[in-house]
């Protein structure tokens, strides 16, 4: 009997709706597994990826670099906080957590990144290891700040995926032991198809059309000039994307 993981990829399409992109069963600790999984998504038509959000898993990070060229990477702030607090004495955990949360409370992208150094300087005398972690992870934990502010809370961590993970776990725990990986994948896929269908018909989009337009601006209007020997007229011709 072997323990295997169900991995799930979700995304947000250009119209602001969430989608389940795919799932797989396997050894989630290996780079080869993640590379094959992500390459499979790409081969099935996934494109235009602007941001990937995940925890700090070396195999996954290398796979993202290999298959998602040009996409930014956001390190999950929740997982990062857990990593930091392993370096902090219990009596100082609340103070450190509160200080790091101020990074994500800043109103603009530049201030978000400046606050990382502010907190690093503040903590360095007593907790140099934490200061080093903040500086080393500065770009990773603040990638969200390059996107519209309306998106920040939904893209700075993997929390939006946790509810889906819990539902898959709840359904698979009922069975307990599966005869093979294919059986586990079939049940997990059924749960994910239900979630995907619900997202597609939901009245409210996950990210608003207005905020998504900031990422995907419409093609510019092209004005064509039609002239005749007698008079000049201007006729607008709209070129759609």
What pLDDT is recorded for position 143?
97
Is 80 exceeded by the pLDDT of residue 228?
A: no
234 pLDDT tier (thresholds 50, 70, 90):
very low
> Residue 222: pLDDT band by 50, 70, 90 thresholds?
low
Tens digit of each residue's pLDDT (9 = 90 or more) over 77-111: 999 999 999 999 999 999 999 999 999 999 999 99
Predicted pLDDT at 224: 52
Q: How confident is the model at residue 24 (pLDDT cuts 50, 70, 90)?
A: very high
Q: Would you state the pLDDT for residue 4?
A: 85
**Spatial distance between the Cα atoms of 135 and 112, rounded to a whole number of angstroms:** 13
pLDDT for position 207: 95
Average pLDDT rounded to a whole number, residues 12-29: 91
CA distance 120 to 164: 34
Residue (of 212, 148, 198) closest to 20 by Cα position: 198
| Residue pLDDT, tens place only, 162-186 | 999 999 999 999 998 999 999 999 9
- Cβ 219 vs Cβ 237: under 8 Å: no
pTM of the model: 0.84
- The DSSP code sequence of the chain is ----EEEEEEEE-TTS-EEEEEEEEE-TT-HHHHHHHHHHHHHTT-----EEEE---HHHHHHHHHH-TT-EEEE-HHHHHHHHHTTS-GGGHHHHHHHHHGGGG-SSHHHHHHHHHHHHHHHTTT-HHHHHHHHHTHHHHSGGGGS-GGGHHHHSSSHHHHHHHHHHHHHHHHH-S-SSHHHHHHHHHHHHHHHHHHHHH-SS-SS-HHHHHTTSPPPPPEEEEEE-SS-EEEEEE----
What distance in Å separates the CA atoms of residue 43 and residue 56, rounded to the nearest whole number? 25
Least confident of 119-128, 147-156, 174-183, 214-223: 214-223
Q: How far is CA 77 from the centre of its chain?
A: 11
pLDDT, averaged across the chain: 89
């Amino acid at each position: 009997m072997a323990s295997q993981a169900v991995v799930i990829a979700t995304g947000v399409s250009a119209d602001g709706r969430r989608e389940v992109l795919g799932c797989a069963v396997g050894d989630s600790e290996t780079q080869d597994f993640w590379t094959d999984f992500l390459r499979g998504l790409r081969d099935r038509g996934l494109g235009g990826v602007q941001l990937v959000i995940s925890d700090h898993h070396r195999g996954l990070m290398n796979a993202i670099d290999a298959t998602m060229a040009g996409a930014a990477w956001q390190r999950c702030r929740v997982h990062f906080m857990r990593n930091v607090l392993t370096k902090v004495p219990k009596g100082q955990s609340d103070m450190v957590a509160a200080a790091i949360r101020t990074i994500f409370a800043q109103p603009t992208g530049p201030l978000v990144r400046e606050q990382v150094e502010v907190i690093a300087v503040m903590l360095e005398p007593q907790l140099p290891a934490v200061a080093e972690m903040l500086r080393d992870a500065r770009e990773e934990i603040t990638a969200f700040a390059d996107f519209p502010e309306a998106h920040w809370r939904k893209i700075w961590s993997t929390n939006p995926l946790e509810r889906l993970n819990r539902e898959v776990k709840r359904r698979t725990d009922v069975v307990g032991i599966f005869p093979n990986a294919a059986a586990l994948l079939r049940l997990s896929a059924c749960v994910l198809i239900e979630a995907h269908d619900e997202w597609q018909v939901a009245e409210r989009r996950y990210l608003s059309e207005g905020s998504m337009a900031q990422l995907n601006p419409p093609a510019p209007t092209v004005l064509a000039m039609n002239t005749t020997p007698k008079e000049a007229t201007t006729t607008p011709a709209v070129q759609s994307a």
